[in-house]
Amino acid sequence: MPSDNAEQYLVDKITGTSSITDIIGTAGGKVSPMNRDVSIAIPCIVYRTANETALDALDGYVGMSEYRVEVTCISSTYSQAKSIADLVRLALDEQPGVLDDTNVQYVRYDSSRDHYDRPRDGSESGIHKSVLEFIIFSNRTSP
């Protein structure tokens, strides 16, 4: 379960996008925080908040935070990892919304990078990862 409403908003957008779930499936753990449990089959998605910054003005905290979130799309093939990443970017980039008492003002795609994890068991297939970074601006609508 996400620890913050900004993360929950992100998870809801991803799991609510059928073009993504058509590829990764809807089983529990297919979109999970921090690390992929080895019991979760790929393809899947892992997310983490890399940084949260409270935004201030000259007179103090303005009630908004900036979250830097990484979304890692994991697959057995490079092309599928990239396809999932493209769909995640379409689902999240520039998509405002409200979840409970959090008003997500803006989601902006920032950057991406790719990784390949070599197999540890001597097999020929490793794991391909496409990592997207987003910046989420949000504020609480109630204290």
What pLDDT, in 10s, does the model give residues 53-106?
777 777 776 677 788 899 999 999 999 999 999 999 999 887 666 555 567 778
- Mean per-residue pLDDT, 121-141: 82
- Residue 100 burial (CB < 10 Å; 0-12/13-18/19+)? exposed
Residue 142 has a pLDDT of 44
Give dist(CA 67, CA 23) in Å, integer: 27
Residue 3 has a pLDDT of 40
β-pairing, 102-117 vs 127-140, is antiparallel
79 residue type, one letter = S
pLDDT, tens digit, 9 for 90 and up, residues 22-58: 999 887 778 888 888 787 888 999 999 887 777 777 7
**Whole-prediction pTM:** 0.83
Report residue 12 as tokens: 């809801």
Residue 143 has a pLDDT of 42
Residue 88 has a pLDDT of 95
Report residue 138 as tokens: 């949000």
- Mean per-residue pLDDT, 4-13: 78
Between 86 and 120, name the one with better pLDDT: 86
